[in-house]
Each structure stands twice: as C-alpha cells, then as structure tokens.
Amino acid sequence: MKRTTSLGILCLVILTVLVFGHVLEATNADKRAADGPLSKETETCIECHRIFSPGIVGDWRKSRHAQVTPKVGLSKPALERRVSAEQIPEKLSAVVVGCYECHSLNAGSHTDHFDHFDMKINVVVSPNDCKVCHAKEADEYGASKKAHALENLDKNPVYSLLVDSITSLKAVKGGKMVNLGSSENAKKETCYACHGTEVKMKGMKKISTDLGDIEVPDLTNLPNHGVGRLNPDGSRGACSACHARHSFSIEVARKPYTCSQCHLEPDIPAYNVYMESKHGNIFASKYQQYRFDAVPWVAGRDFTVPTCAVCHNSLVVDENGQIVRTRNHDFGSSLWVRIFGLIYSHPQPKDGRTYMIRNKDGLPLPTAFAGQLASEFLIDRKEQEKRRLAMEKTCRACHSRSWTEGHFQKFAQTLVETDTMVGAATAFLDEAWKRRLADRTNPFDERLEHLWLRQWLFFGNSVRYGSAMSGPDYAAFKNGWWELSSNLEHMKSIVHRPKR
Amino acid sequence: MKRTTSLGILCLVILTVLVFGHVLEATNADKRAADGPLSKETETCIECHRIFSPGIVGDWRKSRHAQVTPKVGLSKPALERRVSAEQIPEKLSAVVVGCYECHSLNAGSHTDHFDHFDMKINVVVSPNDCKVCHAKEADEYGASKKAHALENLDKNPVYSLLVDSITSLKAVKGGKMVNLGSSENAKKETCYACHGTEVKMKGMKKISTDLGDIEVPDLTNLPNHGVGRLNPDGSRGACSACHARHSFSIEVARKPYTCSQCHLEPDIPAYNVYMESKHGNIFASKYQQYRFDAVPWVAGRDFTVPTCAVCHNSLVVDENGQIVRTRNHDFGSSLWVRIFGLIYSHPQPKDGRTYMIRNKDGLPLPTAFAGQLASEFLIDRKEQEKRRLAMEKTCRACHSRSWTEGHFQKFAQTLVETDTMVGAATAFLDEAWKRRLADRTNPFDERLEHLWLRQWLFFGNSVRYGSAMSGPDYAAFKNGWWELSSNLEHMKSIVHRPKR
Amino acid sequence: MKRTTSLGILCLVILTVLVFGHVLEATNADKRAADGPLSKETETCIECHRIFSPGIVGDWRKSRHAQVTPKVGLSKPALERRVSAEQIPEKLSAVVVGCYECHSLNAGSHTDHFDHFDMKINVVVSPNDCKVCHAKEADEYGASKKAHALENLDKNPVYSLLVDSITSLKAVKGGKMVNLGSSENAKKETCYACHGTEVKMKGMKKISTDLGDIEVPDLTNLPNHGVGRLNPDGSRGACSACHARHSFSIEVARKPYTCSQCHLEPDIPAYNVYMESKHGNIFASKYQQYRFDAVPWVAGRDFTVPTCAVCHNSLVVDENGQIVRTRNHDFGSSLWVRIFGLIYSHPQPKDGRTYMIRNKDGLPLPTAFAGQLASEFLIDRKEQEKRRLAMEKTCRACHSRSWTEGHFQKFAQTLVETDTMVGAATAFLDEAWKRRLADRTNPFDERLEHLWLRQWLFFGNSVRYGSAMSGPDYAAFKNGWWELSSNLEHMKSIVHRPKR
C-alpha cells in the first residue's frame, strides 16, 4: 500500500505541474477569461449587437479591453502600466472596458450624442475620450504633426493647391483640357483618407433596420480614420488609425503593417524600405516567435529586430530592466530631421501645426525654393543632436558604437546629396519658367512640373528612406539614384529639346 | 487505502481530461490520421509515386482528401458540408479521396485517358471530375466569366488585338520597326497564364524514366492552371487555380495570396489595395490566430477581418448560426458593378461569355468608345440594387449601417469621376486620330495610345479598387489620381506640343 | 488494493508518456538549453555585453551556436551534419560557439585585431573564420560570382561607368547640367550595399563609452554586409549577408525574405516573381507549418513548395532518404543560363571573376552589343545540359516529367524572344548614335540611353524571371511584355520624332 500511496502522490505532484502548465498555457493562448464584470449598460449593448454586428462584438471579446478592468491596469508596476492616467473614475474602474464605457464619455462635448434605444451614447469615440485612461498618450499625440494632419493641408495654400491639382476633374472639350475643380469625394478617397476628414454633425437621420426605423446622427465625411480627423467633440485624431477597430490591439499597432497603410511608396516608402532591409528580412522570418503585446517591451527577449514602433514610439527596456527608449505618442519628437522633403530635407518643425511656418519666400514651407531653411520654425542644432543621440542609444542595443556612428554619417551625407539633386531639378524648372516653357502660376499642373515633383516627392524621398533604414534598392534602382539621375536627364531633354 | 483509491481515481479523471485534450490537440495539429481506408488502386499509385514524386504524395497526405471519406462528408449537417452532391457513387464514397479516385473519373470523355502500368487513368483532373462530389460549385463556376476567360480573349477581336500588340516580337531593320507577330509561347507566358490555355491531346509520346521508357499522353499547352483552361475532356477551368496542387486546400483558397496571383497591380490591383487597407493590415497582423478551414466560417470567431473569400464567394455565418452570406463559385455574381474598366466601369455582364456582348460601336465591349453602356447585355438596376444590398449586409457584420452606406456612396461617386478622367483621355486620343497624330487602325500600338491605355487600364482601375476596398495610396500617388492627372497632362503635352 | 495499484501504474505509464511529450515539445519550442559549456572568454564577453549590447546577446542566445558544441555537430550522421570540416580544433570543439570563439580566430591575418579590455579579438568575423567549421561552404562560396561581387563592379570599366553615371551628383548652373562626380557615399548606399565594400583598417580611434574612453579599430566602409565585401583579413564576402546577425539562422537563410534584399524588382525581380507564383502563394499560406531548420531538408514533409534555397543551394532529400539535390554555396553553379541580361541572356560564366571576360567588342561583358556570346568564358552546352537536368530532377519531386519538360521548353523560348526585344532596342540606339541623336561616348547618360537600359535591365529581366518561376504578371503588365513593347515604341517615337 505504501507503494500505491507514493505512486498516487507522485502522480498528484506531476499532475499539479502539468495542470498548472496547461492552465498557464490556456491563459496565454486564450485571454477571454475576464478579470472583472461587464457593466449593465454594456451587457445591454451586447445583447442586441451580437446579432446586429457580430463581428464588432467578436473583435472586442478578443481584446484586452474585454479582459481587464482599469483598476487592475492601475495596480501594475510603473513599467508595466498601459494606462497613464493617475486616477480613473470609480464607475469605469471596476468593470471591463466595454461598449458603453467608451461610447458614453464626455457627453457634453459630443455633438453626436444621441438616444439609442434608451441608451445615451456617442457615435464617435475620440482621443479625448480615450484620454480618460490614456492621458499621457492623448496629450503627446495632441501636440504632434499627425494630430494636425488635416489642418496642415487645409490651412496651407501650397499644399491645398497640390491636392486640388491632383484631384480635380478634367474634361477635354473641343480639344482643350478644362479643369472642372476638385470634388470633396476625390479628396476624401486620397489625401484625406490618411490626413483625416472633418466629421461634423448635420442633424439626425432616419435609417431602416430589422427592428424598424430608428434615428441616428447624420455625420459628415465618414467612414474615415485619418490621423488628423476632426471629431464631433472638437478633438483631433483617431486612435483607431493605429489601434484599429474594436480590438484596440497594441500588437497590431506595433507591427509594421499598421504604419504601412500611409507610409508607403512612392512618396513615403518607409514600409517598403523596412521590408527590404535586414531588419525587415529578419522580422518577416521570425516575427511569429516575437512577443508583440509585452509591456514593457524587452529587446533581445521579446524581439531581436525592431519594427517601426521600437525606434519611433514604444517604451523599450533591456533584460536588466534598463530603459532603452521611452514611450512617446508624438512620433516626430524622437526625430531630428524630416527626410520627407518639402521640397528639401530639414530639421523637424518645433510645432505640430506646420501651417504656421513661413519661409524666406513668405510661404508656409519649411524650406525655400532655393533651399534656405525656415530656421525660426525648426528645431535647433542642439535639440537635433539630443534626439540623434537618443536614437543612437536605441541602435546600440544591438549594434556597436562604430557601426551606429558609421550608419548616421552615411545618412547625413545622403541628405546633402539628395537635396543637391532636388536643387538641380528645381534649377531646371526655374529656367523653364523664366524661358516661358512653363507657367509658374501653379507649380503643380504641367508636364515639366510633374517631373520636378517626382524628383523631390518620390525619388529624393526614396533615397533618404533607403539610407535611413538600409534598404538599398530604394536608394538605387527602385525610385532611387537611378531615377534621380534619369528624371533629371529627362527634364533636361525637355528644357533643351533640340529643334530638328 | 481509501485515500490512495481516491487519489488514483482523481488522477484517472484528470488524466482522462488531459489525454482527451491532447488527443484533440493532436487531431487538430496533425490531420494525418485518416478516417477511412485507401482504395487498392490508390495504394498502388502511392507505392511508386512516393519514390518518383514524393512531394505530390506528401502534399496529398496533409490534405483533407486524404483524411475523410465522402461518406463522412455527406453525413455532416447542411451548413458544415463541403460536398454539395446529393449522392456520391458507393465505390468512391467508402474510401478517402486518393490519386485513383480523381484521376480515373469520366474516362469516356477524357481524350487524355491512357494505360499507365495497368492503371487506366487521366492526366488532367477537370472541374467536370471534381463535380462528382462538388456539384454545386462546379455548376456555379461553369457559368462564370472565369470559366470563359480563355474564350473571352480568343473570341473577342478587340482583346485579341491587344494581346497581339503587346506580345508580338519586334525587330528593327534599317532603322524601321518590323512586327514579327505574336508567338504562342509569349501569349502563354503572359495573358493565357491566368486566362487559361487550350489543353489538347496530340497523341502519345515516349518518355524515359528510371523504370525504362513509357508512353504518356502528349498534351498541348501545359503547364497551365489558368481559370478558363480548356481541358482534354471538353470542360472549362481549373479548380487547382485556387485550390492549389494536391492539398486542395480551402485554407489556401481563402487567403488573399491565391487571388493575388492574377488580381494584382498595375491592371487589377485588388490584392495590393487589400494589403494596404485596414482589412489587410489587421489580416497581416492576426491571421495566424484565425481559422481558415472552418465550415461554416464564423465572422467574429474564425476571423475578425475579411479576406477576399469572405466578401466574394464563401459561406459566412455569425456565432448565432445566422447566414451572413451564401457560398457562390461564380464570383462575379455577387458584384453589381464591374470596376475593371473596358474602357469604362459598367454593370456586371449578364452572361459569363462576354465575347457575346455588342456595344453601340458594334464591338464586343460592355461600353462604347464615348461611354454608352451595352445595357442589353448587362444586369439592370434592380439586379444591381439586390446585389449591392447583399454586399452591404456582409459589411454590416462588422460595420454600422451609416458607415456602410457612407462607404458605398463614396464608391459610387468614384466610379463617375474615374470614368470622366478616362473620357478626357479618350477625347484627346480621338482628337489625335482626327488630326492624324496617330492612326486609329490599331488603337494599341502607338506611343499616345499606350498612354491612353494606361489611363483606363492602370490608373482608372487603381482608383476604383482603392475606393472599393479603402486603400488610399492606390487612389492617390500609387497609380491613382496623381497618375490620372499627370498622364492626362502628358497626353496633352504630346497632342499640343508647341513648335519651337 | 490491487485496483489502486493498477490505477497507480496506469497513471504512471500515461504520465510518463505525457511528461516525455511535454519535454520533447519544450525542447523543440525553446532551444535555449545548451548541450555544452561556454568558454571562459565568452563568459567574460557576455558579462559586459549583456549590458552594453543586450540585443546581440539575446539574439545569439536563441541561436544554434549557443546550444550545440562543434563536437556534437561533428558526431551527426553525414546527411544531418551542419559542419563540413573534417576536424575542428579541440579548444573550439568542446564549448558552444560563443563570442570569443568566432571573434578571435586567425588573429595573424586580421588587420582589425586589437586588445579590448585584455581580450585579443577581431572586429570582423570573415568567411575565412567561419571556414574553421564550415570548410566546404566557405570554399564553394569563395569561387562564386557573389564572393567577387565588389571586384566584378570595380574591375569592370563598363559597370563602373554605369555606377558612376547613376550615382554622380549633378548640378544645374546657368541652365547647363554639370556632373560633379560620384561620391563614395552614394555608391555605398546603392550598388555596393549589395555588392559589398572594402573594409580596411585605417588605424585605431578613440571612442567614448559609459566605461570611459577606449580605443577601437577605425575601419572603412562599415556598416556593410554585401555579398562580395573585402574584409580586413583579405577574405571575400559576408556569411552574415544571408545568415544574418548573431542568430546565424539557417531558417532565415532558407526563407525568401533573405534573397529578397538584393534580388528584387525592377532589375532582378526574383523575389517578386516568386511571391506572385503558385510556389509563393502556397508558401505564404502554409509556411508556418513548414520546418525550416531541418537538416537534411525533406521534400513533402518539411515543406510542400520550394523557397529559393530549395532549388538553388540547399541539400534536399525525400522521405525515403534519397537525395533530391546536393548542397552548394556557389549558387550559380546549379544554373545553366544567366537570365540577368548583360545585355542579353547567356550561359553561366565559368569563373566567378566576371571582370576577366572579354567579348567580341573587347569589353568585359558576356555578350557583345550585337548579341554574340563570349563563349570562351562561358560554360558549354554539355555543362548547361547537365545542370538543367539536375534542376529538372528537383522539379520532379513534385511535378511530372511532362510538366517539367513543358516548363523548361517555354522558358528556353522566352530567352530567345526577350533577347530579340532587347536587340530591337539596341538597334534603335545604334541608329540614334549613328544619326548623332545621342552620343555613344557614355552609353548610360542620355534620355534615349536610359530607355534602352530599361529595356534590358528591367523589362527583359522581368519577363525572363517571370517565365523561369511562373509569375505571369512580371511577364505581362508589371514590367513585362507590355513594357518591352511600349518602351520600344517610345524609343521609336523619339528616334523618328516627326517635325511639326
């Protein structure tokens, strides 16, 4: 009997280990076990919407919001916290973050507030609502160029002219081209899809549903999840641009696919260059072995190559708990130079509202036509140096000091060289304007001007991104030096076209 | 002793749970454990082919065909059934679906039927063979534009002229370009690779193998797995175009990579737009957590964003078992508009055989040169409305009614606007023809005509796909409005080239 | 009691199975449990570097190098061996492959050897160092075109002129374009990023660290991991180009993302064509179910479609242990034809040093301007045939003999046809030179010459890769036949531009 007892106990011990292991595994694999209750209101929402929008409910159920109460979130050690507010209202704190918790906030400021089957809710959840728990992130974001992306187009007559030149309808009548002007629709489907639209309350409208006719707010310019969206509560931006839909996933935001929606070739080939780089190669190979939902995010353990988020906005630590870089939702704030040429590369603007810049030519552009910086509106050398050194520190988590410095020396020279190649194209255009081969009234609407635009917006940018993140094809044959040189020769062949 | 007994029993209970869990897990992870026997014939095939084509045997072994007998398939509840035939011959029904089961069907109609080491088999397995178990799918597919993709090129003189203009060999002799005509090879490697080739029996040929010389059918135009392939049994199409190779995987067919083989930029950027969209972003991030082999496919549980298959052909239900959309293998049948401009967007054709259309100009095209619809051959407004509402229902699984309606309003206006921009280019071309700057005999072979073709085939299409599936870069700088406007200006600069 | 004893024993048996299964699983999932000790020196390295470069240490820890001693590696059966050296020095053999083991080798030949906190180490680990364990691979690689990729540019005046023409800075002064020459920087960021730079010791330099100032070697032209890098020990190449960073992963090297870093559109669209092919489609869908670290690599079991490595360099066997293809790190050695046109397709060069070739025109190019092969420097028909048959054998692991032969017949004809289309463009250019419409001194710097270059480097290549690996879009609208024909017409429109 002793033997059987021992056997039994042995079994029990091993079983405990196994069962515990299983439970742990299950917890990791399926996080659906909530640690707190749903609010009564959210329960009511779900009761109907699991029938009328099952995808939304299903998406939310898999989210962290559906699992964890703000109270638990607040109780974590500083480095592990995902909520930055010091305090969260008791009513919100004790339940998981459900439909009603987000769609009912700050009712007073929401022009889209309405009565929906006896629930008082808002259609749009804005950064100002997310701020209740994520205060620091909302504030940082609010100061960024991204938050002002719509106004930075709309309030800048140069950019507005570019948007109009591209999107205006054209017709050909009697052999002549006629400009029919730009529709709101074409703008929304192109530039404003990323930059954001103005979502305004027009009034209530009646819609037919399976439960009969109901009244809902009639909002302008939706769907849109642009980064600088103007919301019906007056706030700017859409957190869902990156933390998409109802899973609000940190994993989705940290993977490069999110950034790729706006930052892609031909004008901003950040994603394309990344995927072609050594970083992107290894990411594509190994990302299934990485952890994208860890907070803090541990370099060398949770990932071995960076995604966009690692270098541009996440909190990253090392295995010893030392901070590699701090979290910041004003993504430009860790950059010392803006490689997106307008028309040349330049130090980052001081203020997210770039429409307030004035250059030497009197235009709201960070550089003048001949290259001078609008320095007063741009960060100074000291601030640039500080930011560059912080970036180098991030690189040095995986690269030697020599390697890192060598990289940024190459990058700095690339900026000088690409600006020279843009300057050459600009000189050709200027000559063409002087010789009346083109008309400078609108610099964006003639054949030669289109070639000029490609030079700075497509080819100069590609080489700079290629150099910044080591994707050599984008510096070479794919919109790179090959095109910089070939396009310039093309411009020359037009400006100097020989008579036959 | 009682304690040890209880311990033992406890262990047993827990073990049972664990073991059962393990078995379940193993079943999911490795489906190689067949539920039915192999036929004797298939056993014979495998005996040799595991040596002579180990990759094919390995691929098949991992397939559902190798695991499940049609009898078991037939026994499933209606929504879970993957076989649509009401009855399946007893001989096939009791064994798993192996080599011989497919390669021996309908011998009488197969001109590629032959004797292979005493087995009577066909080289090609055609949709008509798959139909024995998948009757409904084969019938639906047979009525589609895809099934007629080869004939829709070959029997349409306009498209044939385009194919020839692109693929014909050119030489330069004495400074003049000479058209040497188009080879069958160049056509097979380009247009017909997707559209399909005609696979005909030429006779038997001798080939050398490690077992000595053997005789096999000599078939024309293979390899090919184009969607409109003409098979040696007279049937149309290749199910393997999407359910690729010997795994016949529903998972592969449901992922966007399959569609991407033909539906990609610059002419049909459906895949590229999808990957740039919010849907594509989330898919790329989360697809490893989705279930792609579930039948029925549950929105919100098996996936949280759609792939191509969700909106265009799969059976989708919600967690309550309600049908979101029905399965249909005539993919065009759920579309109300054809955004692939020919040369303008237009309502979907009524019949899969588009070569039967006649427009106002007397040509087999759905729209006339000046834009009029060949309405008689296209679905009417009522049918369009019906199909659009069915699509909206799918969207509403995850989006509100307002969001959905807003989306399709934008889309409708985009069609009008892109058709206008194509019309402008067409007017320039027409003027150039009239002024003898180009020759209208072949509209596809001169510089200005090539710019015109880019306008409708590349740029118009890109904007429409970008709008349909919310990939703004393809509506903007990447072959979008930027190119629509820039290309038109380019055409103008040629038509109105100033004298110097 | 008997019952409880039996129960206990039953439990024990089942537990043993379960626990054993768990252990096995854990071993597969997490390979961190080393089978041998770290050297004292490596322990010292890690002590500091886990603080100063935690990402490198973390990456290495997950590598096979950190788990397995060379002794264990040497003890494997021949087909499973990853080390090809017959003998490995005892000192290296008994410890896992750590920092010091690699960074201290062959000190005598390393000009970058230095004293680093009392450790004598080299900065760069070169192929000659890797050769200590991976002798066969290093030798094969050393003979390849890749190993000579830098010299093949630098010592070939034609290619050097192309590099300079593309990357030289241009300015416009007084309306005239001025060539300011090509910077080392621009070359490093473009062509030499893939081809490799010359890494030379300049002397020691002082750098500031958190531990105070230290002296380290000052090396030229880093960062770089080009395939033909000249290292400070005089060796050629960088194994890390494919076995990237400190995980030295066979998995990363076998996935197509590694190859994609250099072999991508527009000039070498191998990756793009692969991803568009049926192979790429299925890879994208199923690769998570494949095993990429198995040696040997079993077709049909470890993978069901090939990646680049399967057909071009890996050892592949079938489930019966038969060799499908042998391993070879001279990747060109399994190819019979070079489809990368220079300017026409041609048999593979005999020697990796292509700068030694002389064609009929006296230039170091494999084909002459008018098409004649520099046959003396290229493999003969017999060798071509041998290599093609070896490739067909690989294909036949998954495809029938007819299918395989049909594929390569199409491919052969595509080569003839694309060369014809390149020849036509070349004839136009020749005529333009004769008529003084362009100047032949530099064939790479004028508008018409740029169109000519696109014809062979972008469009001819795209069609050939598209045909070789069955990605029809790259043979059709995406840089394929459409562009081959349209670009030729464009050249014609310039050469024959009518007077108005």
What's the Rg (C-alpha) of chain C?
27
Does B462 reach chain C within 8 Å, measured CB to CB? Answer: no
Q: Which of A4, A413, A420 comes nearest C4 by C-beta?
A: A4
Q: How far is CA C304 from CA B55, B64, B67, C292, C296, in A?
A: 6, 15, 17, 12, 15
Tokens at residue A1, please?
A: 């009997």
pLDDT interval class at C141 (50, 70, 90): very high
Mean pLDDT, range C172-186, rounded to an integer: 95
Burial of A260 (0-12, 13-18, 19+ CB in 10 A): buried
Q: How far is A225 from chain B (nearest CA, A)?
A: 9
pLDDT interval class at B36 (50, 70, 90): confident
pLDDT at B43: 97
Is the Cβ–Cβ distance between B166 and B444 less than 8 Å?
yes
- Give me the residue label for tokens 């961190």: C32
Does B371 reach chain A within 8 Å, measured CB to CB? Answer: no
What's the Rg (C-alpha) of chain A?
27
CB pair distance less than 8 Å for C475 and B190: yes
Question: By percentage, how much of chain B surpasses pLDDT 90?
Answer: 90
Subunits in contact with chain C (3 or more CB pairs closer than 8 Å) = A, B
Which segments of B237-350 does DSSP mark as H helices, in order? Answer: 250-254, 256-260, 270-276, 278-286, 308-312
Subunits in contact with chain A (3 or more CB pairs closer than 8 Å) = B, C
Does A265 reach chain B within 8 Å, measured CB to CB? Answer: yes
What's the Rg (C-alpha) of chain B?
27
Which segments of C278-343 does DSSP mark as H helices, in order? Answer: 278-286, 308-312
Count the neighbouring beta carbons within 10 Å of the beta carbon of residue B94.
Answer: 15
Q: How far is B128 from chain C (nearest CA, A)?
A: 21
CB pair distance less than 8 Å for A300 and C194: no
Question: Given a cut of 80, is residue A13 above it in pLDDT?
Answer: no
Q: Which of A55, A180, A257 comes nearest B304 by C-beta?
A: A55
Give the mutation candidate from B19, B289, B400, B435 for the A interface (greatest A CB count, under 10 A). Answer: B400
pLDDT digits (tens, 9 = 90+) for B420-447: 999 999 999 999 999 999 999 999 999 9
Question: Given a cut of 90, is residue B271 above it in pLDDT?
Answer: yes
Which position has the higher pLDDT, A385 or A4? A385
Mean pLDDT, range B43-71, rounded to an integer: 96
Does C252 reach chain A within 8 Å, measured CB to CB? Answer: yes
pLDDT at A33: 43
A112 Rama sector, left if φ>0, alpha if ψ -120 to 50, beta otherwise: alpha
pLDDT digits (tens, 9 = 90+) for B142-201: 999 999 999 999 999 999 999 999 999 999 998 899 999 999 999 999 999 999 999 999
pLDDT digits (tens, 9 = 90+) for B410-423: 999 999 999 999 99
Q: How far is CA C177 from CA A341, A372, A457, C174, C446, in A?
A: 22, 22, 21, 8, 12
In this structure, what DSSP letter does residue C497 have? P
Please provide the DSSP assignment of B373-426 as one string.
B-GGGB--HHHHHHHHHHHHHHHTTTS-HHHHHHHHHHHHHHHHHHHHHHHHHH
Which position has the higher pLDDT, C470 or C208? C470
Q: Which of C1, C57, C445 comes nearest A300 by C-beta?
A: C57
Does B417 reach chain A within 8 Å, measured CB to CB? Answer: yes
Compute CA B242 distance to the chain's CA centroid, rounded to the nearest angstrom. Answer: 6
Residues paired with residue A297 on neighbouring β-strands, in sequence order: A316
Which segments of B435-480 does DSSP mark as H helices, in order? Answer: 447-453, 461-468, 472-475
Does A475 reach chain C within 8 Å, measured CB to CB? Answer: yes
pLDDT digits (tens, 9 = 90+) for A391-401: 999 999 999 99
pLDDT digits (tens, 9 = 90+) for A331-348: 999 999 999 999 999 999
Longest dimension (CA), chain C: 111
Distance between CA atoms of residues A170 and B142, nearest Å: 41
CB pair distance less than 8 Å for A9 and B14: no
Q: How far is A275 from chain B (nearest CA, A)?
A: 13
Q: Which of C7, C280, C424 comes nearest B12 by C-beta?
A: C7
pLDDT digits (tens, 9 = 90+) for B69-88: 999 999 999 999 999 999 99
Q: How far is B177 from chain A (nearest CA, A)?
A: 21
pLDDT digits (tens, 9 = 90+) for A303-326: 999 999 999 999 999 998 999 999
CB pair distance less than 8 Å for B11 and A9: no
How many residues does the structure list for chain A?
A: 500
pLDDT digits (tens, 9 = 90+) for C200-231: 999 999 998 888 999 999 999 999 999 999 99
- Which SS3 state, helix, strand or coil, does residue C379 take? coil
Residues 6+ apart with CB under 8 A from B362: none
Tokens at residue B167, please?
A: 């693929």
pLDDT digits (tens, 9 = 90+) for A273-290: 999 999 999 999 999 999
pLDDT digits (tens, 9 = 90+) for C399-428: 999 999 999 999 999 999 999 999 999 999
Question: Given a cut of 60, is residue A2 above it in pLDDT?
Answer: no
Residues of chain C neighbouring A19 (CB-CB closer than 8 A):
none
pLDDT at B29: 36
Residues paired with residue C316 on neighbouring β-strands, in sequence order: C297, C325
Does C280 reach chain B within 8 Å, measured CB to CB? Answer: yes
Question: By percentage, how much of chain C surpasses pLDDT 90?
Answer: 90
For chain C, give percent helix, strand, coil, nearest 5.
50, 10, 35
ipTM of the complex: 0.93
Q: Which of B18, B285, B413 comes nearest A257 by C-beta?
A: B285
Q: How far is B376 from chain C (nearest CA, A)?
A: 31
Distance between CA atoms of residues B164 and C487, nearest Å: 16
Does A179 reach chain C within 8 Å, measured CB to CB? Answer: no
Question: Given a cut of 90, is residue B11 above it in pLDDT?
Answer: no
Does B18 reach chain A within 8 Å, measured CB to CB? Answer: yes
Mean pLDDT, range B328-349, rounded to an integer: 97
Tokens at residue A390, please?
A: 């912080």
Pairing of strands C316-317, C297-298: parallel
pLDDT digits (tens, 9 = 90+) for C31-66: 444 567 999 999 999 999 999 999 999 999 999 999
Question: Given a cut of 50, is residue B23 above it in pLDDT?
Answer: no
Sign of CA dihedral C16, C19, C25, C26: negative
Burial of A389 (0-12, 13-18, 19+ CB in 10 A): exposed
Question: By percentage, how much of chain A surpasses pLDDT 70?
Answer: 92
Q: How far is CA B91 from CA A244, B41, B95, B133, in A?
A: 51, 12, 8, 13
pLDDT interval class at C499 (50, 70, 90): low
Burial of B143 (0-12, 13-18, 19+ CB in 10 A): middle
Residues of chain B neighbouring A245 (CB-CB closer than 8 A):
278, 282, 304-305, 398
Give the mutation candidate from B20, B31, B190 for the C interface (greatest C CB count, under 10 A). Answer: B190
Does A492 reach chain B within 8 Å, measured CB to CB? Answer: no
Which position has the higher pLDDT, A213 or B15? A213
pLDDT interval class at A10 (50, 70, 90): low
pLDDT interval class at A6 (50, 70, 90): low
Average pLDDT over all residues of chain C: 93
Question: Given a cut of 70, is residue A14 above it in pLDDT?
Answer: no
Q: Which of A55, A62, A255 comes nearest B398 by C-beta?
A: A55
Chain A residues 282-311 with a CB less than 8 Å from chain B = 288
pLDDT at B17: 47
pLDDT at C3: 53
Burial of B175 (0-12, 13-18, 19+ CB in 10 A): middle
Question: Given a cut of 90, is residue B15 above it in pLDDT?
Answer: no
Is the Cβ–Cβ distance between C318 and C324 less than 8 Å?
yes
Burial of A200 (0-12, 13-18, 19+ CB in 10 A): middle
Question: Given a cut of 70, is residue C29 above it in pLDDT?
Answer: no
Mean pLDDT, range B21-33, rounded to an integer: 39
Q: How far is B62 from chain C (nearest CA, A)?
A: 9
Nearest to B444 by CA among B264, B261, B179, B174: B179
pLDDT digits (tens, 9 = 90+) for C87-99: 999 999 999 999 9
Question: Given a cut of 60, is residue A15 above it in pLDDT?
Answer: no
Comparing alpha-carbon positions, the chain C residue that sits nearest to A464 is C189
Does C209 reach chain A within 8 Å, measured CB to CB? Answer: yes
Tokens at residue B255, please?
A: 């992922």
pLDDT at C297: 98
- Which SS3 state, helix, strand or coil, does residue C400 take? coil
Count the neighbouring beta carbons within 10 Å of the beta carbon of residue C328.
Answer: 18
